[in-house]
Structure 1
């Protein structure tokens, strides 16, 4: 009888981002009696031996609003309280200063949390300045963020959507002073958070947790500018933020002379999102962009092949113009109990016009000159709709989910190409023939995709662990795609200029693909572990009907793969995760159509209608560690991917009628490609993070199958990088120094497939090596009326060819110095100098000395108005020279544009958060 009266409750406390809150004070109130406990490192708490039928819970912790609620056991002996979400405290009368030891990093399941208070935040710093201090994170000059080699693809603030959710759009605009914590989250999606079933490869999400009362604000800017290169510009943007209510608008226009002609761009964007009632929200955004500009560039391409070396020198110029419209809406409903519903509708329209002229001189194995004039126009509308629904059934352990998606797009293109080909004798190099071909290609294509999925989760009986959950999950999905493509080719008679339809160069194709997936999995979770093991069967059907050829081809394929997701908290501060995913990918119409594509006469492309869909396997694993006493942290990550029936190019050299050679690109399925990569990082903070040392690096291995004249070969590559960093932080002086080394062999810096289509490259195996040695020192001195920041960089890069030295070896040495001075808080002066020494490039080059300077004067008490003078490349020595490596080709490229520019600007900035003006300085 006594045992029947002893009851138990279990609970789980999180913040608005669904991240566990540890050490929260929990009080169980039973009339006049009170029991106390605190949440553990994972946010869980429990009370046992309770005799009362009714009770109240009171939960408090620094920085969050107090939580009080009454409960009743009813007929239950054990009560599982649904997740308790604490909201950030508001209207605090004064900031609470906690002098307890700060742990810079906290590691939890699926989350790494950085405590902003343990790092340096200066007046004028933005969130990007804070992120750059965090071990394991990389922020480049364009505000792209990576963690352990993976891109950060989504941004939220306090666990909620934030305007466009674009990371780089806002980490430069939000002040670091409003940040309490930064969380790097493995995001499986909102539906997975609702159901608790997390399957597939997670995406990296950045969540900013603000300080109390800082979850609202107004920020933006307006400005005008003019420059010596006929530059005129204006911009205005405003963001209004009050929790989930968010509105923004932006307007930008700029015109200038880029050296090749006039370049103009314009942008307009608006967005609004808000809650509907207690559990629903909606969002709407529209963007329009217009770009047009002239260009001039030159390239030198050197390609190795078993037949010899190919050399291409290309000079091109022209102009491009495009218009883009994008409209997106979304709706979400989540009551955190029974129903999750989300839907989105997106529409876009793009039109473009392009004109170009190019001269290509090819020598080596093939001696040809090619003069090309190309005019084209394209119109591409798109529409997509997606709906997701998840519902917990009467038996709360069971759940039903479904998703639906539809998309449609079309392309209408008109292209006029005039090609003048000069053929030379292989022995004497004397011009033998001058060929002129004028043609018009009219392209119409339509694509529709429909997908439907349904899943059922059967909750199994409870285990001895009262916080554990287990379920058996069944899912089925189908994706149906239909496409049609029509390419009509007309060749103009050189005498009467009349067009003639050429059926051998034209195509009319209809394709249908059906991908299905049937899976079953077992899911288990408790407060320290979550895993999901399953099996999937994925049949696929691809049917292509070539109407003008009276030919129909079918391809059937069936793939099997396991489904693995594991995440475990080994102990406080130690987590490990393993994920596996597999997916089908169908070949494109461009790769399938057995028609000669003659847009580039030096590289004629012929599709392969017998291509099979490819299947990709991806495995990733992560281990994270932090010592809660010393703050020492480590992160490691392993990734491996391979593809069955990967679609690759097969470039052949075939003789032409003039006893020369021409290229044909075809497509093949192949196996043997893989990529393996490992990342590691260790960080040691000293004396409350005033000093820190970190060491990081990565090692990558790759194997790429290629075809040379129908012969299969492999290119094997190695990538290695090492990075050592040390920092010293004090009230007046900060110093950060780093040294790094990287090595790569046979590294594809550009996408091989796309660059081969453009440049007409010939595949082949080769060996080359690139070494980079770099070091940098950043220091800042902060006095009452004077701030000085300096940055010194050294970088040496060498690229060596194979054993026969058939590739030209190159070397580049870069030295740079940056000085930034602030006087009396209102005068800012910046000086940038860099010197580069180039050696071995195929294009003529100089060793440029670049000097740039800027002067900024701030006005008003909050320094919101500023006058700017910027001078770029004062000595006019910029040459925009770059080297790329793709497959067995090295491309030296230079874009000719104006680099010496002096710009005058006036700007007004708004940056108000939580009722306070918090300045964000420009970089």
Structure 2
């Protein structure tokens, strides 16, 4: 009997096993979002009874479960940024594969609570946006956003905080989609703490009107958008830094100091930011991008972690700024900022300029000591009004002011074939003020019919420049070709008005037709009076150097665009016609000019999204560019005695044809990233320089004797192209990252070179084609272990080569540069940090160039409760080799300049950081931030002290 029972038991289990084997099957499907793109890395949980198993979608959004032994089961789909989905599945009781088809997930607008992420998708590719998840790029507590940006593939931050992305300069910053401090990039990257950031987006922005209509034409602006975590929407954080130090050079012993304060307050829609800075370590708070005719150059925001600034000169900076954002009710959003700076910069430089000339070599050696005092004000405000779901109104007034006072002493020696042409000393003073007022109004209306849209954008502005300049020359030898003592008063004003209209009509389910019209009017008046000092000590008007000139530039642009939209791709095809009129009138000479042009340009834009991680875009546009005042005014400007300038009132506007091609790919499985860009520009009627070399004796106009006069002509034949790539390969959850970057740029530059014979005064003019190619290849290796080490090793090699079609121009160049670098931070005993930044530059082909070694280090200690205090000792440029060296080259000259920079110095600084955040509005019983004692708990906001970071 026992044998029989045993046999029956074996047969029973065998039958059960066979039954299960017969029902085991493969279950598969594809997960997509509501736009039809694959969802990569989505988690799928299969539960049958008490058993469960999990898997994730691959790079195509596909998933598979093998050996599913139940005919009925539940599937749960989850992915960051999407609503979770649960489905009960009933299949046939056999072993045939069960294909579930496409599962669609809806986007999630709220945060998921209680989810622990072990790894996250660091990159998302959208049509015109690359989005990086900030938490995927770990940084030290209290680090600024800039530390995160330095780790992003395709993003470069130089020592002065200037940012490029995919080879193009980033010009503006937004926080939660709104301009921050008027879009001043470094105010956000240097001062916002990284731990409040959710995402970082690099956007190709075509303007507000294009974002509303969806029809994007023209050249986009590369901007940065920082989104704040919802858990940080309510909170306060602040930072104050004071520091003192001294130069290590015995003969200088200048005191170095820094004092700064930063305060931010977030309360839902209301955001406030207050920034202030005072230092003499070349660490500007704001970038005003100009500030008058002689401003710019030195300065910039605080340099990167423990780095020396690469700005020329020594700057004392005083800055203050306020940023505001809030909702005025449910329909109005307001945001704006005010920024102020008062900077003084002293620059000592020496320049060797090799000028293009036919059959001879003209070299100019210049030494200069210049002090600039610059005052800048900038105010902008934005009011957005949304009365309902179909109407939108935005009003933006702006006011800026730039004032400059300059004192300069210089010497100039010009030699032609080793013979002295001119040798003089110069003392010059300059004072200028440049107020600028503007306003922009944008209105958009969406009709009830889907896709029907009308928008109008109106802008107006007025810019003024009042300038007084007094150059005084002391001629040592050679020709005295300019009045010895001039007083030049210049008053320039430009008034502009423009409008753009757009109407979009749907013509099918997926296609739209857009009609647009743009009008632009600019009127410029310039009154330049030059008085010279007589031997009797009086001043007389010098008519040859005075001019009252005005010109008007008017364009009308008519366009028609066809737009077709599908889930995976969309394209725009269009054509535009643009007539323009340029009229000029010199009241001094009675000269009148009128130039009309008519350009027709097609428009093409194509976007193809292979998946959520792979996209291709192609864009073409055409646009005109008007001549500037200096290029038009017909009177000789002798502000620089050796290089006078004379405009050409008969110039035509340029017309540019621009092509761009972009391909981006992110591999979810490996984490590999590839960004590629290709651009090409061809210009009709390119405005080019014509340099005329006059002999030492020139009797028809003695003032031109020994000078190199620049005037301007239109020329065809200019074109240029640029290609770059970025490849990044991370592993071990981005603890290690290898990045390869490459760039090649080619320009076919056009210029004219003229020479006046010394005996007959006959002029010979030849067209010069300067073919310039720049090739750069670089590599970086990053090591990121949170709270242990954050380091980067880099190397790059660059070739800059120019060939001129006129071999006797003597301005060919073949320069090579090698850059080596190592920078990083080591974290010791939890609260100690050792930072180092070493760079080595090797120049080849440059005259008199040094190969500097730059080493900056600092050691800091965090202390007090919650590490709110930081004490740092910094040493900058330990080898004292931070001398500025730059070179430029065109078809008419090459220059090599050396300038003073902030050298070796030490700084001891203390930083106090306070913060408190909540994910929702605090209840009335929560009390003031930090409790009754007023102390903010928690670690820190912002970066290390200015002057060291």
Q: Does TM, scored on the shorter chain, surpass 0.5? A: yes
Larger mean Cα displacement after TM superposition, 611-620 or 284-293: 284-293
> What is the alpha-carbon distance in structure 2 between the residues aligned to residue 399 and residue 889 of structure 1?
52
Tell me if 1:893 matches 2:897.
yes
Match of 2:200 in 1: 182
Q: How does 1:126-205 map to 2 (within 5 A)?
A: 126-162=144-180, 164-205=182-223
Tell me if 1:245 matches 2:300.
no
Tell me if 1:314 matches 2:366.
yes
What is the number of equivalent residue pairs in this alignment? 797
Q: How does 1:281-680 map to 2 (within 5 A)?
A: 281-334=333-386, 337-365=389-417, 367-424=421-478, 437-462=484-509, 469-493=510-534, 495-657=535-697, 661-680=706-725
Shift of 1:898: 5.9
> What is the alpha-carbon distance in structure 1 between the residues aligned to residue 432 and residue 673 of structure 2?
52
Shift of 1:674: 1.2
Tell me if 1:862 matches 2:866.
yes
Shift of 1:612: 0.7
| SS at structure 2 position matched to 1:213 | helix
Match of 1:810 in 2: none
Per-residue CA deviation, residues 249-297 of structure 1 (Å, 9 max, x unaligned), is 1222235899x99953311211211112334311131112112244432
Shift of 1:97: 1.2
Shift of 1:861: 2.2
> What is the alpha-carbon distance in structure 2 between the residues aligned to residue 397 and residue 256 of structure 1?
54
Q: CA, structure 1 residues 474+743, in 2 after alignment: closer, same or farther (shift >3 Å)?
A: same
Shift of 1:615: 1.1
Q: CA, structure 1 residues 877+556, in 2 after alignment: closer, same or farther (shift >3 Å)?
A: closer
Kindly indicate whether the alpha-carbon contact (under 8 Å) linking 1:63 and 1:211 is maintained by their aligned counterparts in 2: no
> What is the alpha-carbon distance in structure 1 between the residues aligned to residue 257 and residue 138 of structure 2?
38
Per-residue CA deviation, residues 814-869 of structure 1 (Å, 9 max, x unaligned), is xxxxxx554433444446666777888655x8776666543433331222222333
Per-residue CA deviation, residues 493-545 of structure 1 (Å, 9 max, x unaligned), is 1x201111122221111211111101111111122222111110000001111
Kindly indicate whether the alpha-carbon contact (under 8 Å) linking 1:248 and 1:272 is maintained by their aligned counterparts in 2: yes
Tell me if 1:97 matches 2:116.
yes
> What is the alpha-carbon distance in structure 2 between the residues aligned to residue 318 and residue 459 of structure 1?
61
| SS at structure 1 position matched to 2:812 | coil
Match of 2:747 in 1: 702
Per-residue CA deviation, residues 762-784 of structure 1 (Å, 9 max, x unaligned), is 99464322233445556xxxxxx
Q: CA, structure 1 residues 334+147, in 2 after alignment: closer, same or farther (shift >3 Å)?
A: farther
Q: CA, structure 1 residues 629+822, in 2 after alignment: closer, same or farther (shift >3 Å)?
A: closer
Match of 1:795 in 2: none
Match of 1:745 in 2: 801
Kindly indicate whether the alpha-carbon contact (under 8 Å) linking 1:177 and 1:918 is maintained by their aligned counterparts in 2: no
> What is the alpha-carbon distance in structure 2 between the residues aligned to residue 482 and residue 349 of structure 1?
20
Larger mean Cα displacement after TM superposition, 402-411 or 186-195: 186-195
Would you tell me which structure has more strand in proportion to its own residues? 1
Kindly indicate whether the alpha-carbon contact (under 8 Å) linking 1:191 and 1:340 is maintained by their aligned counterparts in 2: no
> What is the alpha-carbon distance in structure 1 between the residues aligned to residue 124 and residue 411 of structure 2?
59
Shift of 1:227: 2.9
> What is the alpha-carbon distance in structure 2 between the residues aligned to residue 118 and residue 632 of structure 1?
14
> What is the alpha-carbon distance in structure 2 between the residues aligned to residue 729 and residue 370 of structure 1?
57
| SS at structure 2 position matched to 1:909 | strand
Match of 2:830 in 1: 825
Match of 1:72 in 2: none
| SS at structure 1 position matched to 2:671 | coil
Shift of 1:117: 4.9
> What is the alpha-carbon distance in structure 1 between the residues aligned to residue 901 and residue 153 of structure 2?
38
Shift of 1:888: 5.5
Shift of 1:323: 1.6
Larger mean Cα displacement after TM superposition, 144-153 or 848-857: 848-857
Match of 2:69 in 1: none
Match of 1:236 in 2: 261
Match of 2:906 in 1: 902
Kindly indicate whether the alpha-carbon contact (under 8 Å) linking 1:230 and 1:256 is maintained by their aligned counterparts in 2: no
> What is the alpha-carbon distance in structure 1 between the residues aligned to residue 817 and residue 57 of structure 2?
49
Please tell me the root mean square deviation across aligned C-alpha atoms, in Å. 3.9
Q: CA, structure 1 residues 357+379, in 2 after alignment: closer, same or farther (shift >3 Å)?
A: same
Per-residue CA deviation, residues 388-432 of structure 1 (Å, 9 max, x unaligned), is 1110124343221111110001111122121233444xxxxxxx8
Per-residue CA deviation, residues 714-738 of structure 1 (Å, 9 max, x unaligned), is 0112222223445565676677544
> What is the alpha-carbon distance in structure 1 between the residues aligned to residue 851 and residue 716 of structure 2?
45
Q: CA, structure 1 residues 321+685, in 2 after alignment: closer, same or farther (shift >3 Å)?
A: closer
| SS at structure 2 position matched to 1:496 | coil
Q: CA, structure 1 residues 322+547, in 2 after alignment: closer, same or farther (shift >3 Å)?
A: same
> What is the alpha-carbon distance in structure 2 between the residues aligned to residue 838 and residue 619 of structure 1?
33
For residue 87 of structure 1, the aligned residue among 109, 119, 125 is 109
Larger mean Cα displacement after TM superposition, 651-660 or 518-527: 651-660
Larger mean Cα displacement after TM superposition, 611-620 or 134-143: 134-143
Match of 2:91 in 1: none
Q: CA, structure 1 residues 85+240, in 2 after alignment: closer, same or farther (shift >3 Å)?
A: farther
Q: CA, structure 1 residues 736+296, in 2 after alignment: closer, same or farther (shift >3 Å)?
A: closer
Kindly indicate whether the alpha-carbon contact (under 8 Å) linking 1:471 and 1:522 is maintained by their aligned counterparts in 2: yes
Per-residue CA deviation, residues 120-164 of structure 1 (Å, 9 max, x unaligned), is 444444433333333322232333332221123333445455554
Q: CA, structure 1 residues 317+144, in 2 after alignment: closer, same or farther (shift >3 Å)?
A: closer
Larger mean Cα displacement after TM superposition, 619-628 or 381-390: 619-628
Q: CA, structure 1 residues 690+855, in 2 after alignment: closer, same or farther (shift >3 Å)?
A: closer
Kindly indicate whether the alpha-carbon contact (under 8 Å) linking 2:875 and 2:906 is maintained by their aligned counterparts in 1: yes
Kindly indicate whether the alpha-carbon contact (under 8 Å) linking 2:314 and 2:902 is maintained by their aligned counterparts in 1: no
Kindly indicate whether the alpha-carbon contact (under 8 Å) linking 2:200 and 2:224 is maintained by their aligned counterparts in 1: yes
| SS at structure 2 position matched to 1:600 | coil
Match of 2:772 in 1: 717
Q: Which has the higher contact order (CA 8 A, sep 6+)?
A: 2
Match of 1:108 in 2: 126
> What is the alpha-carbon distance in structure 1 between the residues aligned to residue 496 and residue 262 of structure 2?
36
Q: CA, structure 1 residues 853+567, in 2 after alignment: closer, same or farther (shift >3 Å)?
A: closer
Larger mean Cα displacement after TM superposition, 897-906 or 523-532: 897-906
Structure showing greater radius of gyration is 2
